[in-house]
Amino acid sequence: MSDRDAIRALAGKVKGIVKRNPFPNPEAPPEIVEKIGAAFDREIRMRQIGASAVAEVEEQERQEQA
């Protein structure tokens, strides 16, 4: 996945989050900023470790949430 593809994927996720959570305030609510930041961090981690380790990262995320 190229940088351009990663940015496009992230932009799509951001647009999806904003559409699901419309807000009249021009400043983004903290929970939306947190979701966007988490999605961005996850994409960066996936790119750093490669596609073969995606399952390991997903398992780690499940354990962190539990």
The whole-number mean pLDDT for each consecutive block of 10 residues of the chain, a chain of 66 residues, reads 80 76 69 86 79 78 86
pTM over cut 0.95: no
Q: What pLDDT was estimated at residue 30?
A: 83
Q: What pLDDT was estimated at residue 33?
A: 84
Q: What pLDDT was estimated at residue 56?
A: 81
Asked whether 49 and 57 are in contact (CB, 8 A), the reply is: yes
Alpha carbons 55 and 43: distance in angstroms, whole number: 13
